[in-house]
Structure 1
Amino acid sequence: MTKTQPNTDVNAEKSVLGAMLINPDAIPAVLEHTQPADMWQPRHATIMEATIHAWGNGLQVDPLVVAGEMDKAGTLEGVGGSTYLLDLVQASPTTANVAYHARRLADLALKRRVESAGTELRQLATTGGEADDILNRAQELIGGITRPNSQAIKRAADSLETVMADMEAVSRGEQTAGTPQPTGFPALDDVLNGGLRGGQMVIVAARPGVGKTVLSTDIARHVAITNNTPALIFSLEMNNAELVQRILAAESSVPIKDMRTGTFTSRTAWADIHRAADNIDAAPLYLDDAPNLNIMEIRAKARRLANQRKLGLIVVDYLQLLSSTGRVENRQQEVAQFSRQLKLLAKELDVPVIAVSQLNRGVETRGDDAKPRLSDLRESGSLEQDADIVMLIDRPDSKDPDHERAGEADIIIAKHRGGALATVELAHQMHMGRFSTMLGIAM
């Protein structure tokens, strides 16, 4: 007597395949719930792939057509020949319950993936590996367990009530799930249709020393201190003490140099510093300066905090300092992986994620008056592809201290998915680690 393998149902696999071969209309119903990788028997996965391929190419699917396609591909003999395809049809005289069987196969496959991950985790736990490495692998394993998207297609009218309710709430000044997160710069918010939204990945990029960290921290400071909404900064370049000192300077209007030397030019400096410190103390602003952070650690830490508090913003400063969890062929591929993972994190937690990034030297070779552009994003075109918004910072006085626009900065909205492109003029006060508002937008 054959022993049954846990979390498998070979008869259900045969029933699904037979239904697909009998009636092509069953194929989309199956694909809403399961996929070839969910099949326990390898030959069933091969048959399902061939059936889907034939259907996708517009062929009228039946056992003979699929057998012919598999024969051309050299896979027919390995699954038992055309005779086995006919056996599958005989094993499934009806297609009435195909969706039920497809859902069951997806559920069983999910359980097998969990079981497989658990087996690997037990093996890892008994090895002499580093605990942190084991934890990272565990998070990667669990995070990789997914099922096909089985959410049903809906009429637009099904979401109309939610959209109307959100619009009415916004008109009353109430917060909703789709309410944008203001950046603290009204001119920038106007261009961004109110601010940053959940699910968006935002690139803030500039050459070194121009102010990409300052702008990103300014936005996080506004979200946490002014809006009292949790914001999380992963700082791979500065430690927490350095970052807090910059935030304290920006919030108090006391120059960073004065704080470091203890020589204050304002008689109210200490009072301003204590007021700012109280604001920071009360704010839901979270910092992580762990060295050599990798993308899986960032996702895991962000998830844990999001389970406790509804996050309003995540900042990763900066992208090129992230370390990889595995072997990659080249740096471009590695940065592309980081970019995609941050975009998935933004969607998963429904929070805007700002990824700070370097620009390459191309902008400098074009002359002092050259403006940065999308092609200057360093190391990976995937940043441009994955990002919903790309902000490029240009400070004329970073190249020429005596420039007529000294003290000013242009925030160039070089990409804005679903919105306008523009250049927003801000003032900068780098000695206090902040940007500030200027009137007017240069289109």
Structure 2
Amino acid sequence: MNIEKMYNLDAEKNVLSSIFMNNDSICEVIDLIKAEDFYSSNNKIIYKNLVEMQDKRIPIDIVTFCDRMGETLKEIGGVSYITEIINSSITATNIKRYGQIVKEKSNYRELMKIFENSMEKLKKAEDSTDEVIDYAQNSLMKLDSSEVKDTGEMLPIMDKYMDTLQARYEKGEAVQGVKTGYKSLDKTLGGLQKEDLVILAARPSMGKTSTALNIILNSVFKEKAKVAFFNLEMGPIQIIDRVLSIHTAIPMDKIKKADLTDKQWCAVTKSAAIFAGSNMKIYNRIYKINLIKSECRKLKIKEGLDIVVIDHLQLIEGVKGAENRNVEVSKITRELKLMAKELDVTVLLLSQLSRAPEARSEDHRPRLSDLRESGSIEQDADVVMLLYRDDYYDKDCEEKGIIECIVAKNRNGELGTVRFRWLPEIQRIWALNT
């Protein structure tokens, strides 16, 4: 092992020396390094106390520092060590560079620790390989994000806001998010917004997968969005049957049976080729929340990612140790909301509803309280859309094939209902609202 990569005591001393020489220079490194980043235990204590003195506006010099330390001064080398530190540098102008060296060495040690811990976990064989991979990836993500400081200062916040405002102006549209392809829905939601957790919930066979697929395909082909679809409910062949039926307007039953005319064969072949080269990825064998997050992180870094779709919540496997399924679901939705923020993506999460709508004697329209295993679904979600079809409950109703998309929660926009015409034969939906 190359010891020189593990630490640099000269850089540590020069950071401390610079602060003694110019108290204001601490501002150059206070957001860059923490006391834990120092290798020397003495230097950790000295830096921690210098930061505390700066916070309390106590002037820093050898006298005030030694007075603050009192009897504990001996434990860190006494006055002689403080004098040695002060004399180790002749200028404070390079403190930021010294701080960067200290941080680099700290990151190296932390990386070694992550890999050593991962190896130890593998040797003990108490955790699955998936859990070890998740530990390593999460640790690396935390290490990577540890240098990103949220200072709370208004200047960078306003700079980012003005950039966003300028982008809105240049786009010149009311809909600022990724368009769903349905004007009435986009008007209500403002499009699919980055960092949002969007819930699309319904009773079984209500049309939620079809609705989600239509939105996905519109975003991929009209908006050029990059989409990851985690299909937990169906096999890959079943989902492709639906996708091609929507795209070609050929009845899904004909595609399933391969009962196609020459013209339809040509259309299906062409459509399949288009999807093969599209920005859409479909995953059929990833059920665990940690693996979903891991795959999304890799996609974001390697290829970019705009929308994550998961069908559906009740099939996601959570982390170990949850007291019950409600607690597990709460943890899953919280993790997905945090992932949306971390990766700057929209998460469209499909979910089942409880049987409560059937139990109501008159109006079977779903409510937020009907979210199955609700936990914190409603709390974590930015948008909740509930689907309802009258002909689901009344086979003799006048309006058949009408889906009501009830926007029951919209943290940053309007509530309302958007009506769709649904043709299950080809899995397509059309918005009826003007």
- Of 240, 264, 288, the match for 2:283: 288
The whole-number CA distance in structure 2 between the counterparts of 1:114 and 1:287 is 33
SS at match of 1:390: strand
CA offsets, 1:208-243, max 9 Å, x none? 222222211111122223444332211111111000
What secondary structure, in the 3-state scheme, does the structure 2 residue paired with 1:290 have? coil
Cα gap change, 1:390 to 1:40, in 2 (>3 Å): farther
Q: 1:183 aligns with which of 159, 180, 192?
A: 180
Do the aligned partners of residues 39 and 399 (structure 1) sit closer, same or farther apart at CA in structure 2, a change above 3 Å counting? farther
Name the CA distance, whole Å, in 1 between partners of 2:362 and 2:53: 58
Match of 1:71 in 2: none
Cross-structure match for 1:72: none
Q: How does 1:1-20 map to 2 (within 5 A)?
A: 7=6
What does the per-residue CA deviation read over 1:121-180, in whole Å, with 9 as the maximum and x for residues that have no partner? 334566768655554443344334341532563256634763465245313x9xxxx952
Amino acid corresponding to residue 313 of structure 2 in structure 1: L
Distance 1:97 1:226, change over 3 A: closer
Shift of 1:106: 4.9
SS class of match (1:439): coil
CA contact under 8 A between 2:418 and 2:433: conserved in structure 1? no
Q: What residue ranges of structure 1 are gaps of 5+ in the alignment? A: 64-75
Structure 2 equivalent of residue 192 of structure 1: 189
1:254 corresponds to which of 247, 250, 254:
250
Supply the distance in 2 between the matched residues of 1:10 and 1:335 (Cα, whole angstroms).
48
Larger CA deviation: 45-54 vs 386-395: 45-54
CA distance in 1, matches of 2:341, 2:257: 44
Task: Provide the residue aligned with 2:267 in structure 1.
Answer: 275
Return the alpha-carbon distance in structure 2 between the equivalents of residues 8 and 310 of structure 1.
Answer: 35
In the alignment, which of 396, 401, 411 is matched to residue 405 of structure 2? 411
* Mean Cα deviation higher: 117-126 or 235-244: 117-126
Distance of aligned partners of 1:145 and 1:400 in 2 relative to their CA distance in 1, 3 Å threshold: farther
What TM-score, normalized by structure 1, do the two folds share? 0.73
**Cα displacement (A) at 1:355:** 1.2
The alpha carbon displacement at 1:196 in A equals 0.9
Displacement, 1:341?
2.6
Normalising by structure 2, report the TM-score.
Answer: 0.75
Q: Residues 438, 126 of structure 1: CA spacing in aligned structure 2 closer, same or farther, 3 A cutoff?
A: same
Q: CA deviation at 1:345?
A: 2.9
Alignment of 1:299 onto 2:293: yes
Unaligned runs of 5+ in 2: 61-68
The AA in structure 1 aligned to 2:109 is R
- Aligned CA RMSD, in angstroms, stands at 4.6
Q: Corresponding residue for 1:377?
A: 371
Q: Quick one: which amino acid aligns to residue 167 of structure 2?
A: D
Per-residue displacement from partner, 1:273-312 (whole Å, max 9, x unpaired)? Answer: 6425423421312211015x21222222223333443333
Count residues in correspondence. Answer: 417
Alignment of 1:94-243 (within 5 A): 106-124=103-121, 134-146=132-144, 147=146, 149-150=148-149, 153=153, 154=155, 158-159=159-160, 162-163=163-164, 165-171=166-172, 180-193=177-190, 195-243=191-239
Distance in 2 (CA, whole Å) between partners of 1:124 and 1:434 is 49
Contact 1:225 1:280 (C-alpha < 8 Å) held by counterparts: no
Q: Does the 8 Å CA contact 1:7/1:109 hold for their aligned counterparts?
A: yes
Of the three residues 389, 400, 417, the one matched with 1:395 is 389
Shift of 1:439: 2.5
Matched, 1:346 2:340: yes
- CA 1:19/1:404 → structure 2, altered by over 3 Å: closer, same or farther? farther
Residue identity in the other structure for 2:271: N
Do residues 326 (structure 1) and 320 (structure 2) align?
A: yes
Number of the residue aligned with 2:66: none
Alpha carbons 1:374, 1:384 under 8 Å: kept: yes
Matching residue's letter, 1:196: L
Identity %, equivalent residues: 27
| Secondary structure at 2:281 match in 1 | strand
Amino acid aligned to 2:273: D
